Chain A
Amino acid sequence: MTTEATAGLASVMGATIRRELLLAMRSPGDVINPLMFFIISVTLFPLGGGVEDAFLATIAPGVIWVTALLAVMLSLDSLYRADYEDGNLEQLLMSPQPLYFLVLSKVFSHWLMACLPIIVLAPVLALMLKLPAAGIGALVISLALGTPILVLIGAIGMALTVGLSRSGLLLAVLILPLYVPVLIFGTGVVDAAINEMAYAGLLALMGAMLALAISLSPLAIVAALRISVN
């Protein structure tokens, strides 16, 4: 009985991830636009902010983190919109499967498509901003821990505002305050690495935030979706 239930759960999570990846392949703009935004914005900083290596290196962690954060926010708009409009959201909420895992796998697929490319490209852009080599590993790790938190928190805001026609500004007001700690810790990790200080503690804190986000935000997302379809 237990193994059967677990197999059912694994298959529904697999099917959800497969569906989301298929949808992303069918409309690649949803994935590519935020990524292009990330690349272009970061590229503009050396052009507009002066060419002194030392100056660029100082602002590099902040630039990459802030741009990644904005790119994640930009990508969120597509998260529940289509499902809300075509009625699939109602079907999702009527599913007898545990909604926690259904929602979590949807958020995970979104992270795969929206954030993984950003994490992969970040070292290249960091080199362009003359970030010292010591900071590059820390940047990748901090983004890998931080971006899932951003997506999980953003999904709550998106779930709350999906029923509203123009939710952009409201979404920003709702979730940006919650993004601030992630941003501070994320850039803190990179700064510490550049200055050859220990940053394991900061990473552990980010890990704890991620664990908290994974365990609690799907519950909040489900509650928010219920309010939105009501």
Chain B
Amino acid sequence: MLEARDLYCERDDRVLFQHLDFSLCAGQSIQVQGSNGSGKTTLLRILCGLNRDYRGDIRWQGQPVEKARADFRAQVFYLGHAPAINRSLSAAENLRWFCASRGVRAGKIREALAAFNLQGYDDVPCYMMSAGQQRRVSLARMKLVPAALWILDEPFTALDRKGVSELEGMLSDFVRSEGSLLLTTHHPLKMDCDVGTIDLDALIQERGVYDH
């Protein structure tokens, strides 16, 4: 489904990763590991097409991702570092625009918020919510759009313990229903499915590629 060959990326004269190969099929999940600043977010943004400073090959359904861009965007759900929640708008208003921007009918916003324990928070402006609640609004988007691939950058940030285990359950359900999952997290994952890993630190160490 998503395939990367010989990816290379450097930032500020420092090689973040090189010769990075992996493939992610339907029903598989991969956790990207690495210390702070090792390039986890950069890797996810490159795969999303938000960062173009890389060399190598990224393929989506067997095609170069530049050619399959429209199909790729329709199939991917990306959760970035920033929650993509406008603090002046209410939870429902944020999600309604998100649905429209994805070309999806905004029917199930109430249910999506309820799935993340935000019953009754539909019309509360997001600046009145705690960081964890804002994160939940942000996460609720994944219930609203059909996507074959979830790319999640630190999805567990700011969630309480119960929220973490509920999210783990949702991620496992998604992978078991033939979804593909790519995520970064520093938290020990407890998922009911196999999780592959890409270790960016190990990748750098074994090849010894600090070029200065």
Contacts and interface: CB of A to CB of B under 8 A. Distances in A.
Interface of A: 8, 11-12, 14-16, 18-19, 22-23, 26-27, 82-83, 85-88, 90-97, 102, 226, 229-230
Contacts of A96: 70, 73-74, 102-103
6 contacts: A15-B100, A16-B100, A87-B80, A87-B81, A94-B49, A94-B78
Interface in B101-119: 101-103
A90 B98 CA distance: 12
Given A94-B48, A94-B76, A96-B73, A86 B86 contact: yes
A88 B88 CA distance: 13
Instruction: Kindly list the 6 A-B residue pairs having the minimum CB-CB distance in the complex, ordered from nearest.
Output: A87-B82, A15-B100, A96-B74, A87-B84, A26-B88, A96-B73
Given A23-B88, A90-B84, 7 more contacts: A15-B96, A16-B101, A26-B89, A86-B87, A87-B84, A96-B73, A230-B52
Interface in B93-140: 93, 96-98, 100-103, 125
Chain B at the A interface: SS class:
loop
Nearest to A92: B101
Contacts of A15: 96-97, 100-101
Contact of B84 (A11, A14, A86): A86
B98 A91 contact: yes
Contacts of B74: 96
A18 to B, nearest CB: 8
Chain A at the B interface: SS class:
helix
Given A95-B101, A95-B102, A230-B50, A90 B82 contact: yes
B197 interface: no
A190 to B, nearest CB: 38
B169 interface: no
B157 interface: no
B148 to A, nearest CB: 13
A178 B70 CA distance: 33
B50 A16 contact: no
Contacts of B102: 95-97
A23 B87 CA distance: 10
A88 B137 CA distance: 13
Contacts of B70: 96
Nearest to A90: B80
Interface in B44-84: 48-53, 70, 73-74, 76, 78, 80-84
B103 A8 contact: yes
